[in-house]
Every structure is written in C-alpha cells, then in structure tokens.
C-alpha cells in the first residue's frame, strides 16, 4: 500500500535499501480522513509534512468572490506540503475528495532527509520540480485547449500517474471527482463539463462511470488530447503509454 511513494520516487532514481526501509517505517503510521475534509488550510502553517497513502485529494483556492479553483490532483505517493520547512504559511488549501489514508512526517523526519539522506533529498526535489512542470502544463491546458481536449489531457496525465503508483495497468482507474469539481479544475461550467464528457464518451475516447475512468484506446486519447508526458520527467519510458 504505502509503497506508492517509493514506486514514484524510483521513477527518478533507484533508492538504496536503507532509504527504502526508512521511508516505509516513517510512513507507517497513517490516519484516515473522510471525504471533503481539509488536510491543510490556506493561511495555516503545518509543522508536519503529509503524504497521501491512499485516496484522492486536491489543491485549491477560493477567490474573494467565492469561486473555487482546483489546480492539482493528489493521489497515493504525493506530498501535501514539502514547502513547510521554508514558507511560513500555506498559500492554498488541500482538501480530500474521497476518503484518504494520510501519513504524517514529523519535522525530525524532514531534517533527517535533508541532513543525512541526500539521495532522498534529491528525489524529493525532483518531485517538487515535476509538480511545477505539472502546474505549467495545467496552464497550457486551460489557455490553449478546447474543453473536451482539456479534460482528455487531464485524464491522460492521471492515467500515467496512476500507472506509476500501480493504481492501473489497464487504462482504468478510480476517479472520484464530480463534474462540478472537474469544472472547477478546468475553468468550465458544470453543464459544459457534462456536454464535453458526453462528446468524449460518444466519440469513444473515454467514459466516466461509477467513479471510474475507462480508456478504451489510450493511443487514440493521447492523440486527441495532444498529450506529451515529457513534463512528468519519468525515467522509465515504459510507464508512459
């Protein structure tokens, strides 16, 4: 279960047995957080670093006008707040969508990494650079792609990330967002998300049913979405598609 993080990190560089063991031990204690709960809130300053072990969460911000923008999806193996050591306060919130199991690394674990485990530190740095690349691609998506293509692109990305942590090997995975939440992610109205999904479904690109995404032909979807996974910076090409 909690080896998602390890699987992910090893897409960058193999870990030593010792680092692997240490990570397992330090992420062993998890708590369960129900759906639609905040893991961290904007303005707060958590002292611990949280890692999603299982479930689905999102990074989001609420504007003064009360509109919500979601700008990242967090799945097993993803860090919530690596920034903690440097920044004084969160500039956005993180909320669960589905029930999550969350591990908590105390500040000592973080300093253990930075001081004594340089290989791990490099891997975490890689994570945060990939997150940054993912944000950039998100912007490209919102700015330059038509709605259906936009959703398709997001699905292609998630499919790759799910494969990395072994949550799919057949282009089918759990996706608990509502259409309203997809809309808040992509800057679209709920109604238009619904119509775009219908378009995708009717064209045979994807279907979302019972909180599950099914991609009948991933190559066709990649083509349609103009998806190029370079920004995920995976070493292992086999994972991509």
Partner DNA sequence: CGACTTTTTGACCTAATTCAACTAATGTGG
Partner DNA sequence: CCACATTAGTTGAATTAGGTCAAAAAGTCG
Residues within the interface to a second copy (CB under 8 A): 43, 59, 61, 63-65, 67-69, 71-72, 83, 86-89, 91-92, 122, 125-126, 128-129, 131-133, 135-140, 142-145, 184, 186-187, 226, 228, 230-231, 233
Comparing CB distances to a second copy, the nearer of 134 and 172 is 134
Tell me the C-alpha distance between 42 and 218, whole Å: 37
Comparing CB distances to DNA, the nearer of 46 and 187 is 187
The single residue among 178, 203, 212, 236 that binds DNA, judged by CB under 7 A, is: 178
Strands 100-105 and 57-62, by their bridges, are unpaired
Based on the shown chain and the rule CB under 7 A, indicate whether residue 128 belongs to the binding site for DNA: no
First-to-last C-alpha distance (Å) of the chain: 23
Number of residues this chain uses to bind DNA (CB under 7 A): 16
CB 184 within 8 A of CB 68: yes
Tell me the C-alpha distance between 14 and 239, whole Å: 15
Q: What is the dihedral of CA 195, 201, 207, 210, to 10 degrees?
A: 60
Among the residue ranges 48-56, 161-169, 187-195, 228-236, the one whose residues contact DNA (CB under 7 A) = 187-195
- CB count in 10 Å sphere of residue 136: 10
Based on the shown chain and the rule CB under 7 A, indicate whether residue 146 belongs to the binding site for DNA: yes
Q: Nearest Cα to 180, choosing from 36, 6, 30?
A: 36
Comparing CB distances to a second copy, the nearer of 1 and 230 is 230
CB 156 within 8 A of CB 73: no
At its nearest, how many Å lie between DNA and the CB of residue 186?
8
CB 63 within 8 A of CB 124: no
Comparing CB distances to DNA, the nearer of 50 and 196 is 196
Based on the shown chain and the rule CB under 7 A, indicate whether residue 133 belongs to the binding site for DNA: no
Q: Which does 191 bind (CB under 5 to 8 A by kind): a second copy, DNA, none?
A: DNA
Comparing CB distances to DNA, the nearer of 110 and 148 is 148
Tell me the C-alpha distance between 21 and 139, whole Å: 37
Using CB under 7 A, list all residues that contact DNA: 146-147, 178-180, 187-192, 194-195, 197-198, 210
């Amino acid at each position: 279960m909690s080896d998602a993080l390890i699987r992910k990190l090893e897409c960058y560089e193999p870990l030593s047995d010792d680092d692997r063991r240490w990570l397992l031990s330090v992420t062993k204690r998890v708590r369960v957080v129900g759906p639609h709960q905040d893991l961290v809130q904007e303005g707060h300053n958590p002292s611990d670093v949280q890692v999603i072990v299982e479930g689905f969460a999102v990074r989001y911000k609420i504007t003064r006008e009360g509109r919500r923008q979601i700008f990242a999806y967090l799945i097993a193996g993803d860090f919530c707040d690596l920034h903690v050591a440097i920044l004084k306060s969160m500039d956005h919130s993180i909320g669960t969508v589905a029930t999550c199991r969350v591990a908590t690394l105390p500040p000592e674990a973080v300093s253990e990494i930075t001081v004594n485990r340089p290989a791990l530190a490099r891997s975490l740095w890689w994570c945060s650079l990939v997150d940054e690349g993912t944000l950039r691609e998100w912007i490209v998506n919102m700015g330059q792609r038509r709605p259906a293509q936009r959703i398709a692109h997001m699905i292609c990305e998630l499919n790759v990330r799910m494969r990395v942590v072994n949550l799919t090997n057949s282009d089918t995975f759990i996706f608990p967002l509502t259409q309203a939440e997809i809309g808040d992610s992509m800057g679209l109205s709920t109604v238009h998300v619904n119509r775009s999904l219908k378009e995708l479904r009717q064209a045979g690109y994807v279907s979302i049913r019972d909180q599950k995404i099914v991609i009948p032909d991933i190559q066709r979807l990649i083509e349609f979405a103009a998806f190029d996974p370079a920004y995920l910076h995976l070493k292992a090409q086999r994972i991509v598609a």
